A and B are shown apart, each in its own frame.
Chain A
Amino acid sequence: AQKVTQAQTEISVVEKEDVTLDCVYETRDTTYYLFWYKQPPSGELVFLIRRNSFDEQNEISGRYSWNFQKSTSSFNFTITASQVVDSAVYFCALSEANLRRDDKIIFGKGTRLHILP
């Protein structure tokens, strides 16, 4: 069965601090995709990143970076030099390449991040 666990329900940091959001996943598939989405207070889901299971290279995009480690089934997200605008709920998610050929996404329960000025 597939599952995504975000153990941190809520995190508060002071602006300019670095913060890492943890994500651990479970799947029996060898081919799958991992995602991070941001949900700001306005409510819409903002896509941040997608990685496939064959690409373990870490990725950096501005102040955001992602660490994918298949050995520990983790896909952690780090925000460097956090800003107040980063305050949001962040969801880690998984989609399996399954025989049903659907792409349904299994989401974690989210981590609510507060960046304090």
Chain B
Amino acid sequence: GAGVSQSPSNKVTEKGKDVELRCDPISGHTALYWYRQSLGQGLEFLIYFQGNSAPDKSGLPSDRFSAERTGGSVSTLTIQRTQQEDSAVYLCASSLRAGGTYNEQFFGPGTRLTVL
């Protein structure tokens, strides 16, 4: 079956502009995660959605970052007034659900964001 997909694969933007990154999780997966991979920083958790529950936004680095998940499926990560330090690869992952016994997270290919 189809895996997690993300679009665009690459995005170049100018400092100060807003960007939207999209994630299509695996069909039927209720849990969705966003992570960021910055150069030399590894991957860091940003935000987590589970079903219709309020998202866990504890990893968002600033209020310029926000995310939505419409209809429990597609998610959009929005970065407003982008800064050069936002340049990174943004990875999305989904799993059947969260909690209880461990649920495998399947990662998308990522969106490489470059802020000039």
Contact = CB atoms under 8 A, between A and B. Distances in A.
A43 B89 contact: yes
Interface string A19-61: 0000000000000010000000001110100101000000000
A18 interface: no
Contact of A110 (B42, B56, B89): B42
Q: Name B's interface SS.
A: strand
Given A43-B89, A110-B42, A103 B105 contact: yes
A97 B102 CA distance: 8
B82 interface: no
B102 A45 contact: no
B79 interface: no
Interface of A: 33, 43-45, 47, 50, 52, 91, 93, 95, 97, 100-110
15 contacts: A43-B109, A43-B112, A45-B91, A52-B102, A91-B42, A91-B43, A100-B56, A101-B50, A102-B50, A102-B98, A102-B99, A103-B105, A106-B45, A107-B44, A109-B41
Given A52-B102, A105-B43, A108-B42, 11 more contacts: A43-B89, A43-B112, A44-B110, A102-B31, A102-B99, A103-B31, A103-B99, A103-B102, A103-B105, A107-B35, A109-B40
